[in-house]
Structure 1
Amino acid sequence: MKSLLRILMFLLSSLSEGYPWCSLQAWNMDTFTQNGDIILGGLIVVHSGYEPPELTFRSVPEPPSCKGFHRRYYRDVLGMIFAIEEINKSPDLLPNVTLGFSIFDSCMSEVRAIWGALSLVSGTGAPIPQYDCHGSSKMAGIIGETMSALSLPVARILGVLHFPQISHGASTSALSDKTNFPSFLRTVSTNTFQNIALSHIISMFGWTWVGMLVVDNDVGEQGGQIIRKEIEKRGSCVAFIEKIHLSYPKDKIQRVVYVIKESSANVIVLHSPEAHVKGLLDALYDADVIGKIFISSASFTITPGLFSKKAWKVLNGTIGLMPSTGAIPGFEEFLQNLHPKQASTYPFIQTFWEVSFNCSGLERENIRNPNVSGQANLCTGKEDVRDLIPHLFELNDLSYTYHSYMAAYAYAHALHALLGCQPGNGSWRCSSERRTRPWQVLQYLKKTRFRAKTGDWVTFDSNGDLSASYDIMTIQVLNENFQLVKVGTFNPRALQGNTISINTSSILWNEKYSRVPHSSCSTSCPPGYRRVTKQGQPVCCYDCVPCSAGEISNHTDAVKCLRCPSDQWSGEGRDQCVLKFVEFLSYQEPLGLVLSSTVMIFAIITFFILLIFIKYKETAVIKATNRELSYILLVSLILCFLCCLVFVGHPSKFTCRLRQTFFSIVFSISISSVLAKTIMVILAFKATSPNSSLKKWLGLKIPCGVVGLCSVAQTAICSAWLLSDPPIPRMNTESVYNKVILECHEGQNVYFYGSLGFLGFLAVVSFLAAFLARNLPDRFNEAKLITFSMLVFCSVWVCFIPAYLSTRGKYTVAVQIFAILASCAGLLGCIFVPKCYITLLRSERNSREHLTSGRRFGVERL
């Protein structure tokens, strides 16, 4: 782009070299000039629109014609002129030098803006780039353009020429690029901080679903994308981005209205100059869309007189950013002294007068101004402007006017330093008296630092930008009159966390809302839930999913749930972690009480059976059961029942070690005693022959050997268990999500299942031996009783294994206690209850004759 511009300028210069009068066919567009020793150019939007020319190809095209004179824009022109008049009156700033001005209205047209810039540079009113037709140009620099879209092409051209330009309204960050725009400076802040401020406002009010309206040009589209990134960076989402332009036909505007109306977003970011949305606001009111809240960027200037009453209804409650400004001393008095007779001094003054007082006839006698209504009277010049000044110019918000005022002062201080330069001081070349070069002015502008009458320090950084803050304003519409109220500030230089402050109580929202509006794609997820983004939707559109067991979310719209500590769980609402209930089988609870009571009952019953056996030890039935083994078995059963009590209660290091080892050893004695009884029954019936060699095994040797050997083997297993990895108490926080199970950790499972396996081996051997001896001839065959007892025993422990593995907590302990009780009760019931029945209730059967009748072999050896 830069190279093309250089070629264009070279060609234009070459064509003009032979003609000292610089003839070039050009449009006749008015430039308002006041002469002086040094001239400041002004490219300022005064009219809010333009009409493109009709191309008939039969005549020379006319320039775009301006329409919609606007008082608010005109205030920027007056701010520049007021500053120049102050400077000319000042004895300290540019003494003996008079500043003049040459102001051109671009009417929001890029064509007019470029044409005006080239005309100001040439000094002729004709667009001849870098060509001084008069031989002594007085133009020191240009103030403007007002808007970013107009400033970009102008700044690119002026940058090639190294012609200084200070914008009082263009904020796009693209202009900070000194490679492409080396001569551009501005008295407003770059929109980098504006974008951050907008995202802060949206985040502060909790709006997560917003729409966007951007002007349909490069500045609007690029700026809209940057704002979108900032919004998304703070966790919000953009529902739509629609383009708008003042040249849009009604059908395109209606399409934008439809998108806004159908969207669930109640907040819309407005990134566009105000003139482009005028028609859209009227269309929104006609479509009854008055419940949306607009958040406007600094490019949207809130101006009186531009919008209709319908548009103000739509804008009610709007929150907008404005560059922070100070008061301009004496400016209001300056405005009050305006009069249409000053047309030669102040440009557009007659048009301003006609529009302000809705009269006509000043510019051309008896010809009505198209900017005023058709019913307007002729102006008299006696209208009193003083009472209308605050309303006409909205003096409580001097944004952009203040900055055009400061731009004029920046030029004055740079020129003052340049004209006061002493040769040899500094590295720059001094200018001759009253003769300045734009490139010299540019160098001094970059180093300018001064304190204005407002008290503000003005200095440009390396990018030509000012470090500034923003005022946060709100529009309040009362009784069909609008009021602009400051409700906060945004200062990017403030300490972290204090960059933005908003007085929410000062905001009057749109009449549809009595409090802060809500704008989100999905309803907020309450505590106890987390957000899960809907497939194919932005992250702000989500479903609320309950937190999993053991996890919580303690605030709304949680992205993820937090896992509770191991000793806590998520509670019913899953919004806070609560201490888990510590569970163990206690004597105080019903299950522990029932089991311990059952244990004592069975232990007592077994003890009474032992007493019966001792009392009736000389009877035939008890003698036939091998009394010594019966005593050992009954005592071991009592201990088996009582060992269950160790499983109940708070686990400790001692009880954990005692539980399984004591149970295993005592149980091994019980089963080995049953095995010994079975072996003795078999031997007794096999040793009936007088010369049988088996008779020598009848007695206590075999029973004592079997019981001793088995119990010693089990004791060895348990000893190895205790020495290598003994059971210890443990807080189990994983098995049940809402409980802490206080249990005994068995250590290495090989020892636990090894001891159970040994008991199972003994039980199976006893069962097989008894089963094989079940048909021995005897009226009271004890082998059958042992078979049934072992069948019960094996069935119980086979069922125990899956039940033990599938239960958790105190129920695991209860299952083992129940297995011990059931198996011991099976032994007690199958082996000893029938003998007690005969002994106590059927004494006629408790005789040797009855037991030996009906069989061929005796039981003398039993």
Structure 2
Amino acid sequence: MRILTGGGLHIPNYRCKNPGHLMTVVGFASSTLSVLVAETFGMFGYPQISYGAIDPLLSDTQRFPYFYRTVPSAIHLQNVLHLVLKYFGWTWIGIIYSDLESNENAIQKVKAFIISGGGCIAFIKKLRSSTKYLNTECLNFFIKRVYFTNTAGEHIYFDKYGDAIGEYDLVNRISIQKKKLRSVHVGKLTSTDFFVNESAVVWPVYFNQSELSDRVQENDMIQCLKCHDEQWPNKNKDKCVQRPIAYLSYQELLGGCLASSAVILSVTSVYFLAIFILYKNTSVIKTTNRKLSMVLLLSLILTFCSCLVFIGVQGNIKCLIRQPIFGMSFTVSVSSLLAKTILVVLAFHATRPGSRLKRFIGQKFPCVLVGLSSFLQALICALWLGTGPPIPTQDFYSYPGYIIIDCEERFGFYAMLAFVGCLAMGCLVIAVLARNLPSAYNEAKYITFSMLVFFSVWVTFIPTYISTKGKYTTAVELFAILVSGAGLLLCIFFPKCYIIFCKPSKARVIYIISKNQRVSRIPISKRSQ
């Protein structure tokens, strides 16, 4: 402002003393400052010569008729980069630049230019630097026609946009010692011409340039394409290959162990069922409601077998049936335990004179309870399948390089589990209340322990299930099903089998409760049928 107005007061558009002998303005290296100065001094016809501003905006001769620069515009740099990248076939490009403000905008334009041309930016690093800033109509006329050769042998002149012609040296940086580089001039570039002395280029041993050149020469273009969702770059990052499909399979260790456990538990359940059929007339089986016990065993067999549906590639059918099969079979198991627990309590309280609970002791009550529970669960599953059924999904993002095949269960899965949890909670509460009944009849303590195992497993399951992804989500659910089912199987049926085989004398007697709650024992042969 002092140059334009003079004097101590800086008043725009006013002259406070006679004009000096300012001929032209030299500067700046910053594109932003050059734009501001060019707009201000251009109004008074002062030419401006910048030695560092490369913003293409300054090539607009309508807006900046008095602006010149001794460096080429960023447009020239983009054209030169295109020639270099095409020649060497480089698609993964790192950018290193000094921290001059004029470089910031230029680098953004170069980055966009590289990406639009099919290249990929590997990294951008900014280096610190320091710059010293240097500090009328007829002069502008002569500046337009400047042409000379500097001491480096370079021809200096301005084109019709006021830009210097872009000429660049291609320099090969060679590592000669640790952390030391030697610069070798191997070529010269302009926006229209390109020369490389290939015999002078020294490539690092870990960089195989010849393969890239062959590929580019064959394709005659730079290729850096984004792979499709079902594809992934190979190790060399020069080709898209099909992503492998990841799912819980029988061939892998995790899937094989879960499948083997399901088969073993199913066979064990069949073994217990066979024992109950062979020894169905013993007191240890009769007094614990053998029909409910057999229903419980059959439902556990189906529960364990349903685990096999979760393993393998999940298609539309598997996704549709796997959770409902598990939910229905497990509902029958837990509701059977609930019925057994209630019958234990009723059996002792019904012995009181005039008790109306005797009418509930029979075959109808457990059938009604198990049937009603199964019906409600079937209704939940029907609503689930009717409104938002499970569908197979492909996950491309959880595990890079793989396609995860799984089923999207949605809200119905949690509604199904919640209903089973309510039945189990009722079973646990009643079993705890019945824990002090005589041990000869009392199956409640085994039911209590089995329900504690059940809740320990499924309370742990929910946060683990939510936090895992892919095939491990399925593995977590299978583990919960197998462990909770094994807890029911062993806690309820192993003690009975132990009595049958290890204490056969105890298995051949029944217990009858007298009115004063004392327990008397008689042989089973004398029991009235």
Query: Of 820, 837, 840, which residue of structure 1 is paired with 2:498?
Result: 837
Q: Tell me which residue corresponds to 1:760.
A: 421
Query: Of 240, 248, 258, which residue of structure 1 is paired with 2:131?
Result: 240
Q: Tell me which residue corresponds to 1:700.
A: 363
Classify 1:299/1:472 alpha carbon distance in 2 versus 1 (closer, same or farther; 3 Å): farther
Cα displacement (A) at 1:792? 1.2
Give me the whole-angstrom Cα distance separating, in 2, the residues matched to 1:722 and 1:695. Answer: 41
Classify 1:587/1:298 alpha carbon distance in 2 versus 1 (closer, same or farther; 3 Å): farther
Give me the whole-angstrom Cα distance separating, in 2, the residues matched to 1:657 and 1:681. Answer: 38
The answer to whether the Cα contact below 8 Å between 1:211 and 1:240 also exists between their aligned partners in 2 is no
Give me the whole-angstrom Cα distance separating, in 2, the residues matched to 1:843 and 1:806. Answer: 49
Give me the whole-angstrom Cα distance separating, in 2, the residues matched to 1:813 and 1:232. Answer: 48
Cα displacement (A) at 1:506? 8.4
The answer to whether the Cα contact below 8 Å between 1:684 and 1:861 also exists between their aligned partners in 2 is no
* Structure 2 residue matching 1:504: 3-state secondary structure: strand
Query: Of 555, 561, 583, which residue of structure 1 is paired with 2:246?
Result: 583
The answer to whether the Cα contact below 8 Å between 1:320 and 1:473 also exists between their aligned partners in 2 is no
Residue 292 of structure 2 is aligned to residue 629 of structure 1: yes
Residue 195 of structure 2 is aligned to residue 504 of structure 1: yes
Q: Tell me which residue corresponds to 1:826.
A: 487
Deviations 1:373-430 (A, max 9, x none): xxxxxxxxxxxxxxxxxxxxxxxxxxxxxxxxxxxxxxxxxxxxxxxxxxxxxxxxxx
Cα displacement (A) at 1:780? 5.2
1:649 aligned partner, one-letter code: G
Deviations 1:35-62 (A, max 9, x none): xxxxxxxxxxxxxxxxxxxxxxxxxxxx
Give me the whole-angstrom Cα distance separating, in 2, the residues matched to 1:489 and 1:811. Answer: 56
* Structure 2 residue matching 1:781: 3-state secondary structure: coil
Matches for 1:18-417 after TM superposition, within 5 Å: 197=72, 199=74, 204=80, 235=110, 240-243=131-134, 299=146, 301-302=148-149, 315-316=151-152, 318-321=153-156
* Structure 2 residue matching 1:301: 3-state secondary structure: strand
* Structure 2 residue matching 1:243: 3-state secondary structure: coil
Query: Of 641, 661, 676, which residue of structure 1 is paired with 2:304?
Result: 641
Query: Of 509, 515, 518, which residue of structure 2 is paired with 1:856?
Result: 518
Q: Tell me which residue corresponds to 1:668.
A: 331
Matches for 1:359-758 after TM superposition, within 5 Å: 500-505=191-196, 566-567=229-230, 580-689=243-352, 692-747=355-410, 749=411, 751-758=412-419
* Structure 1 residue matching 2:155: 3-state secondary structure: strand
Classify 1:320/1:780 alpha carbon distance in 2 versus 1 (closer, same or farther; 3 Å): farther
Deviations 1:471-505 (A, max 9, x none): 9799xxxxxxxxxxxx9998xxxxxxxxx323435
Cα displacement (A) at 1:784? 1.2
Give me the whole-angstrom Cα distance separating, in 1, the residues matched to 2:429 and 2:498. Answer: 26
Give me the whole-angstrom Cα distance separating, in 2, the residues matched to 1:684 and 1:726. Answer: 43
1:673 aligned partner, one-letter code: S
Query: Of 436, 458, 468, which residue of structure 2 is paired with 1:807?
Result: 468
Classify 1:228/1:794 alpha carbon distance in 2 versus 1 (closer, same or farther; 3 Å): closer
Cα displacement (A) at 1:667? 0.7
Classify 1:741/1:202 alpha carbon distance in 2 versus 1 (closer, same or farther; 3 Å): closer
Give me the whole-angstrom Cα distance separating, in 2, the residues matched to 1:200 and 1:298. Answer: 22
Give me the whole-angstrom Cα distance separating, in 2, the residues matched to 1:230 and 1:720. Answer: 59
Classify 1:322/1:229 alpha carbon distance in 2 versus 1 (closer, same or farther; 3 Å): farther
Structure with the bigger RCO (C-alpha within 8 Å, sep 6+) is 2
Cα displacement (A) at 1:735? 3.7
* Structure 2 residue matching 1:240: 3-state secondary structure: coil
Structure 1 residues 715-724 or 735-744, which shifts more?
735-744
TM-score by length of 1: 0.40
Give me the whole-angstrom Cα distance separating, in 1, the residues matched to 2:451 and 2:330. Answer: 13
Cα displacement (A) at 1:855? 7.0
Give me the whole-angstrom Cα distance separating, in 2, the residues matched to 1:467 and 1:682. Answer: 102
Gaps of 5+ in 2: 1-19, 26-37, 47-60, 85-94, 112-125, 136-141, 170-186, 203-222, 522-526
Cα displacement (A) at 1:809? 1.1
Deviations 1:615-641 (A, max 9, x none): 010111111111110110000010011
* Structure 2 residue matching 1:828: 3-state secondary structure: helix
Deviations 1:107-126 (A, max 9, x none): xxx99xxxxxxxxxxxxxxx
Higher alpha-carbon Rg = 1
Cα displacement (A) at 1:731? 1.1
The answer to whether the Cα contact below 8 Å between 1:780 and 1:851 also exists between their aligned partners in 2 is no
Classify 1:768/1:233 alpha carbon distance in 2 versus 1 (closer, same or farther; 3 Å): closer
Deviations 1:562-591 (A, max 9, x none): 987654567889998765443211111111
Q: Tell me which residue corresponds to 2:5.
A: none
Q: Tell me which residue corresponds to 1:769.
A: 430
Q: Tell me which residue corresponds to 1:786.
A: 447
* Structure 2 residue matching 1:501: 3-state secondary structure: coil
Classify 1:790/1:195 alpha carbon distance in 2 versus 1 (closer, same or farther; 3 Å): same
Cα displacement (A) at 1:843? 1.1
Cα displacement (A) at 1:755? 1.1
Cα displacement (A) at 1:592? 0.6
Cα displacement (A) at 1:781? 2.2
Classify 1:566/1:503 alpha carbon distance in 2 versus 1 (closer, same or farther; 3 Å): closer
1:741 aligned partner, one-letter code: I
Classify 1:233/1:849 alpha carbon distance in 2 versus 1 (closer, same or farther; 3 Å): closer
**Which structure has greater helix proportion?**
2
RMSD: 4.8
The answer to whether the Cα contact below 8 Å between 2:73 and 2:166 also exists between their aligned partners in 1 is no
Classify 1:778/1:233 alpha carbon distance in 2 versus 1 (closer, same or farther; 3 Å): closer
2:155 aligned partner, one-letter code: G
The answer to whether the Cα contact below 8 Å between 2:69 and 2:163 also exists between their aligned partners in 1 is no
Give me the whole-angstrom Cα distance separating, in 2, the residues matched to 1:473 and 1:771. Answer: 88
* Structure 1 residue matching 2:436: 3-state secondary structure: coil
Give me the whole-angstrom Cα distance separating, in 2, the residues matched to 1:466 and 1:856. Answer: 114
* Structure 1 residue matching 2:131: 3-state secondary structure: strand
Classify 1:515/1:570 alpha carbon distance in 2 versus 1 (closer, same or farther; 3 Å): closer
